[in-house]
Structure 1
Amino acid sequence: MSFNGEQHPGVVPAPGNTQGFRLNHTMLRAKDPEVALAFYSRVFGMRVLRKLDFEEMQFSLYFLANVEQGEAIPEDTRERTAWTFGQKGLLELTHNWGTEQQADFAYHDGNAEPQGFGHICFSVPDLAAAQAWFDVCNVTFVKRAEQGKMKDVIFVKDPDGYWIEVIQADLMAGMGD
């Protein structure tokens, strides 16, 4: 018998009509795409799969992913666009043109009051090595692995103040028991 998910109040069996549905991406707004892209590519190793510009509405979308070595990604722009929208776990950075030139402009990070959005999360193979890497990169920490009640969980901030949780999968095995 295959695992069908934990059962909790409100959970219903997945309707057959939802077969093949998958979470494609999460969107964060970026004040300055050059700064945000430098952060996500340098600190987290993400690559831009596709950039889409919408001149009439004055915004751009950047779709980022952690690409596996040897992964076959279409070179043709149209094919890569369709391929991008079929992936799992992408990060979309949305840039509304001109925000990078406004010194006092900032997006709400979701963790300040009123709270809403919380964070995105990266799983890493070695949490201690990742924490050391974040120090080298001068990343802003919200919480280091050894701090607080939840050990082995890191929280850092991206350039727009969004929180990023960083975990090591095998260290999560006993979490919430």
Structure 2
Amino acid sequence: MLLYIFRATPEGSTEGVCAPKGGTRVCVCVLLISVIRAMEGKRGLSDEAVSAACKEGDPITKDYMMQQTMLRVKDPAKSLNFYTRILGMTLLQKIDFPSMRFTLYFLGYEEKSDIPADIKERTAWTFSRRATIELTHNWGSELDESLSYHNGNNEPRGFGHIGIAVPDVYASCKLFEEQKVTFVKKPDSGKMKDLAFIQDPDGYWIEILSPNKMVSLMSP
């Protein structure tokens, strides 16, 4: 609780000050409003506040979609091996930019047989897929021993993780253990059970979740 002592000012008004006990001619009061405001900063938005913040988008946005998340990677060979062999994604397209010395790799959960052979058709198709991963490799970064990318989970924190839905979290994690994948959290550890967090070769976090398990996990 926040304790304030009020004293008279030369202008006849009052001001709040911090003062030791024993002062004379003072009025000591507890400012509950300050306490409430401090508490509000420690919890999330109310349902009413969420409803007030969320607005209807312009009609033009009805055909928008979440298409990609870009991650910078140091060694593309290691990253491609991880996202295809470990997570089962498919390489959708590789795009080189020689003049700027970088390459983009797009991956997602698509059937290889659906990928167009024509390069222009393939490009349009790739950029019309939902929820893809774009791995960006700046040429030569794999040779720089001092280079590492911030994963967003160390201070100052920002980006958190991507999430992969799987049929069975425990079966997936058993396979990850056999493949020597680095765990941040195993499904039976921590306060939230039945989900896990692993790391890719650059240290980015990946949540491993089961949709059905999330129902009980998110229940009050």
Do they fold alike, i.e. is TM over 0.5?
yes
CA distance in 2, matches of 1:8, 1:175: 24
Q: 160, 171, 194: which is aligned to 1:152? A: 194
CA distance in 1, matches of 2:85, 2:52: 42
One-letter code of the match for 2:171? Answer: A
Identity of aligned residues (%): 46
Give the whole-Å Cα distance in 1 for the aligned partners of 2:194 and 2:57. 33
**Pairs aligned (count):** 170
C-alpha distance after superposition, 1:121-166 (max 9, x if no partner)? 1000111110101011100000000000111110000000000000
SS of the residue aligned with 1:41?
helix
Q: Paired residue for 2:79?
A: 36
Q: Do residues 48 (structure 1) and 91 (structure 2) align?
A: yes
How far apart are residue 68 of structure 1 and its match? 4.2
Higher relative contact order (CA 8 A, sep 6+): 1
Paired position in structure 2 for 1:109: 151
Which residue number in structure 1 is paired with residue 167 of structure 2? Answer: 125
Look up the equivalent residue of 1:49 and give its one-letter code.
L
* Residue matched to 2:205: 163
The structure with the greater share of residues assigned to helix is 2
Q: Structure 1 counterpart of 2:108, which letter?
A: A
Separation of aligned partners in 1, 2:216 and 2:56: 27
Q: Which one has the largest radius of gyration?
A: 2
Aligned equivalent of 1:4: none
* Aligned residue in 2 for 1:27: 70
**RMSD (Å) for aligned C-alpha atoms:** 1.3
Amino acid at match of 2:144: Q
Which residue is equivalent to 1:64?
107
Q: Secondary structure at the match of 1:8?
A: helix
Structure 2 CA distance for aligned equivalents of residues 156 and 104 of structure 1: 23
CA contact 2:169–2:209 (8 Å) conserved in 1: yes
TM superposition shift of 1:19: 1.1
Partner residue, 2:8: none
Matching residue's letter, 2:71: L
Would the aligned equivalents of 2:167 and 2:210 in 1 still touch at CA under 8 Å?
yes
DSSP 3-state at the match of 2:174 = helix
1:53-92 equivalent positions in 2, closer than 5 A: 53-68=96-111, 72-92=114-134
